[in-house]
Amino acid sequence: MQVFEAVYLREGTMDGGYSVWMGQPVILRVVAGNLRVPLRGRLVSETNEVVRLRIADSWDVDIFKSMVLGVEHDNPVYVVN
């Protein structure tokens, strides 16, 4: 399992650190207050302050980089009947 831990610059953001993960299935480790949540999806874009995660076919969510603790490659599980 490949894990990426966010290393922040003085301003608390990363510049271009997510380009390696674009288009791949990932699990974002996100913190909000005292809550830590794993979010599954595909990274589709990045700005200086946010990353955009596609959770479903037509549902994109912008997440502040300061909330991301880490990025992990996701191995989707397929169920066959």
**pLDDT for 76:** 73
pLDDT along the chain (81 residues), means of 10: 44 65 92 92 92 90 94 84 74
Q: Is residue 51 part of a domain?
A: yes
Q: How far apart are CA 61 and CA 58, in angstroms?
A: 10
CATH code of 30's domain: 2.30.30.100
Q: Is residue 68 part of a domain?
A: yes
Our count of domains for the chain comes to 1
Q: Is residue 21 part of a domain?
A: yes
Q: Is residue 49 part of a domain?
A: yes
Q: Is residue 78 part of a domain?
A: no
Task: Name the residue range of residue 33's domain.
Answer: 3-73
Q: Is residue 69 part of a domain?
A: yes
**pLDDT for 71:** 92
For the whole model, what pTM was predicted? Answer: 0.71
Q: Is residue 79 part of a domain?
A: no
